[in-house]
Structures are given as C-alpha cells and as structure tokens.
Amino acid sequence: MIRGQHLLGMRGVPADTIYGILDTARGFKEVSRRTIKKVPSLRGRTVLNVFYEASTRTRVSFELAGKRLSADGVNISASGGSTSTSKGESLLDMAQTLDAMQADAVIIRHGQSGAPHYLADRIGARVINAGDGQHEHPTQALLDLMTIREQFEKLEGLEVALIGDIRHSRVARSNLIAMKTLGMKVRVAGPATLVPKELCDVYGCERCDTVEQAMEGAHVVMSLRLQRERMVSGMLPSLREYAVEYGINSKLLEKTRHEAILMHPGPVNRGVELAADIVDGSRSVILNQVENGVAVRCAVLYSILGGEQP
Amino acid sequence: MKENAMSQEMLNAEGIARALDELTDAIHSATTKAPVAIVGIRRGGEHLARRLVSLIKEKYGQELPLGFVDIALYRDDGFGPSDFPKVGVTDIPFRPKEHTIVLVDDVLYTGRTVRSALGAILDYGRPCSVKLAVMVDRGLRELPIQADWVGLTLETTLTDHVDVHLTEGGAEADAVVMTTGGNGEES
C-alpha cells in the first residue's frame, strides 16, 4: 500500500508494506504522547468516517487519527437511523454524494462483506476498510502486529494461539492473512461450530482440539470476542459452557511462554472469553492495542493520503 | 548519479574535528537568555548533535540537554508516489520553553528542512530562542533562513551533491564530500 491506494484488506499486502506501516506507526505513537497531539501532514484533506455498524473504539480511533494529522473529518453514523439510509438511500447513492463533497478518503464500516470493495470501484476517494461483515478488518490486524512487535520485535516464527469465534471474526481473518504473510505460526481453537476445519486449509493455520493445546508454548494468545450478534441459534450451547470450555484463565496462561502476551480486540466479555483477573493482569496488552490503534490508523492515513498535493 | 559525476573531498576527518571544535566554542560562548539545549535534526544532524554535546562536556564540563527532531510530518514537499513514508521519532526530553535551542544539521541547503524542524519544535513549546549550527552551508536557499554557526561554506550549483560522512553513520572516516555533475538530489 502506497500513496493513492485503498486499504481494503490484508490479502495481497506484502510483508515490506506491513513493516513499512508498522515503522511509520512508531513515529505516530510518539505524536500521540505529546502535549500537543497534532501534526500538519494532512492539512486541507477531507476524511469521512462512515459507520453503518455500531462501533466505539474503531470509530474514535480513526477520528482521532484524522484529527492528529490535521485532516478535516466528518463522522456519519448510519446505524442509528439518523441518516439518509433510513430514507432508503443505497450505499452507492450515499457514496456518490460523499464523493461529490470532494472527500479524499472514506473510512467505512459496514455489515456487508465486500462493501468497501464495492465503494472503491465506484468513487474517486481512497477507501479504508474499518471492518466489513465477516470479511476483513485490516487496521485491527496491523495494530495487533504493532503490539506484538513491541514485545518481540521479530515477528517471523512467532507462535500465536487464536482462540474463540473464528468463523464470524473479520479480525481473525485479517490477522490470519497478515500473520501468514509474515511467517508467523497460528494455532486456532474454539467450538467446532465456530472453527470450521476448512478455514485452516484456506488460511494455513493449525487447528487444535483444545485451548490448552493451542496455547502450549505460544508467544501470543489472541482471544476473540464472541460475535453473538452474528450467530444463528445453536452455535453455542450456553455462555456458561463456553466460558468453562474455551474461556482463558490464569492457569491456562501458564502453558504459554513466560514472555507471552494476552490480546483481545475488545470489547471483552469479562468472565466469558477471558477471566476478569487476566484482563487487567501483567500479560494483558489490551490497552496497548487500543493506544496502538490510533498510531496505526495515523500511519495508514498518512501513507495513503500524505505526500505531495496532487 | 550520472556516470561522469566527480566527487571531491572538501573536508577530511581532521577538518571536521576542527570545525566541530570551533562550533563547540561558539555554542559555549553564545550569550543567551536561557540555558542552552542541543537538538539534532534526524537523521543528518543526529550524530553531529551527539558529538557537540560530548565535546562541550569534555572541554567545558558543561552537560547540555540533548534532543532529536524528526521532520517527516512537517515537510512541505511530502514524499514521492512510490516511496513509503519514513516517519522517525522526535525525542525532546526537556521543556523547550525554558531553553535556548541550538538546532544542529549536517547540510544547510534550501532551508526547508530547518523550517520543518522549527515547526516540530514549536509544537513542543515556545523556546526562548532558536540558533542554527550546521557543518556545511551550501547556499541556494529557497526560504529566508540563515545559520548562526557554520563549519564550512561551499559555493554549489543545483546539480551538485554534498554529503557529510561520519563514522557513526557507517563511514570509514569522517569527510565532507561534494559531487559535481550528478543529479543534485540530496538524501
């Protein structure tokens, strides 16, 4: 990904581009820690945040990233029925309207897989995927990789345990693609209904029968949120049973390497995916992920929109 | 660089050492309203800034605060369409407000790098004043910016290329090298 391109997913993004974004993000993390958290790089550029699904951290993170780069940002939340979508306007109509407003970039979260690709083919602005259906969430994968890199520096060869609802997770999908590109080894575990066998053939990961097996010797444990809103009934017997069988607790964490880190894209269902004590424990880097999210999104915006004025 | 480009050493290691010694004296004797701090412009001025701080401590026993500024996010020319932007980390571990800052860079050319560095520093606070020390002033300014202290002044044309090689940056020996007949692009 270089200037003038879209970021629609991690598929096809080469390793040197991923490392380039992560290196750039380091500089932006320093900007976020300044008293005056603002640089002039995207002054005069217009960035639209269009969120068709409820989101707090991703939306705020993109919004802050745009502000830190001095871009003019407009936020459109289409999930509350407060926009033209509630009047029957299609995604394309809305996109063309936004395009006519001379947007330089459109950041889109949409419940339909492929919606950002659809837009990218039809509008002049650069499109950044902020999560589409069960497809991809590339900036989440990048911020996860940044967080892992802060602990281990060399990503190649690291062992990752990915636990939970992988079927419905766009976070998992983007991570699986990017981690494979970087030569990381991913083991997955979760209920059979949520970790289909064919998924491992497609993404080149190893499927484990138990969470314990997946976590054995892992450098990174990545727990995923149960996407209950995307499940049809019958995929889980009960939350209680899920917590007992697949929830991660401090005893399970002992199976990992002593320097292992615990990640979660948030928001955490405490006591379900993760025991409450380890969410706030010393291995948890969940808040680091949130902080790195702003830096990575700054780096993505800067890489795509920065540079010489056209 | 073109094939017929010619490189000439304008300063050798000894010359750079002498120039740094003079810069050290000048910075030390500068009359300022506030304590002096050194800020190197990444990446060319980084090693020079470290050396100056070390020389001032050695010669005068004065320990000056040292910081570094990365100008990538303040440039007015952006980066090329096929380049990946390189954003480094700015590190100013003191309050600019309470200091006179001596900005240090290797080559002063158009003045745009210094303008960017001033923008970055001002985002950290308003220094009492800012001075500029460079190893080489090669002229051809595009902005009204002048150095307070210069190690070597060179007359150049737009197609010349001036490099300050330092051992910390991987060079075998310190040297200022000017290449004529090239494409004139500075690193």
The answer, for B93 touching chain A at a CB cutoff of 8 Å, is: no
- Tell me the chain B residues in contact with residue A22 when contact means C-beta distances shorter than 8 Å: none
ipTM of the complex: 0.74
- Tell me the chain B residues in contact with residue A39 when contact means C-beta distances shorter than 8 Å: 73-74, 120, 123
The answer, for B124 touching chain A at a CB cutoff of 8 Å, is: yes
CB contact under 8 A, B78 and A306: yes
* CA-based nearest distance B98→chain A, Å: 16
DSSP notation for B22-42: HHHHHHHH---SS-EEEEEET
Nearest to B88 by CA among A235, A299, A245: A299
Chain B residue with the nearest C-alpha to that of A306 = B78
The answer, for A308 touching chain B at a CB cutoff of 8 Å, is: yes
Over residues B31-35, mean pLDDT:
78
* Predicted pLDDT of residue A226: 80
Q: What is the mean pLDDT of each run of 10 residues along chain A (310 residues)?
A: 79 94 93 89 92 90 96 81 60 83 92 91 93 94 98 95 91 96 96 86 92 96 79 66 89 95 92 92 96 96 78
Q: What is the pLDDT of residues B96-126, one digit of tens each?
A: 888 999 999 999 999 999 999 999 999 888 9
* CA-based nearest distance B84→chain A, Å: 6
Over residues B9-38, mean pLDDT:
90
DSSP notation for chain A: --TT--B--STT--HHHHHHHHHHHHHHHHHHTSSS---STTTT-EEEEEESS--SHHHHHHHHHHHHTT-EEEEEE-TTS-SGGGGT--HHHHHHHHHHTT-SEEEEEESSTTHHHHHHTT-SSEEEEEEETTTB-HHHHHHHHHHHHHHHS--TT-EEEEES--TT-HHHHHHHHHHHHTT-EEEEES-TTTS-HHHHHHHT-EE-SSHHHHHTT-SEEEE----GGGPPTTS-S-HHHHHHHH-B-HHHHTTS-TT-EEE--S---BTTTB-HHHHSSTTB-HHHHHHHHHHHHHHHHHHHH-SS--
pLDDT band at B187 (very low <50, low <70, confident <90, very high): very low
- Tell me the chain B residues in contact with residue A296 when contact means C-beta distances shorter than 8 Å: none
CB contact under 8 A, A34 and B86: no
- Tell me the chain A residues in contact with residue B83 when contact means C-beta distances shorter than 8 Å: 2-3, 307
Q: Counting Cβ atoms within 10 Å, is residue B30 exposed (0-12), middle (13-18) or buried (19+)? A: middle
Q: Which SS3 state, helix, strand or coil, does residue B107 take?
A: strand
* Predicted pLDDT of residue A4: 66
Distance of alpha carbon A73 from its chain centroid, rounded? 21
Nearest to A262 by CA among A190, A143, A160: A160
* Predicted pLDDT of residue A310: 46
The answer, for B97 touching chain A at a CB cutoff of 8 Å, is: no
Contact yes or no for A175/A135 (Cβ under 8 A):
no
CB contact under 8 A, B123 and A303: no
Q: Which of B85, B91, B119 sits opposite A24 (nearest CB)?
A: B85
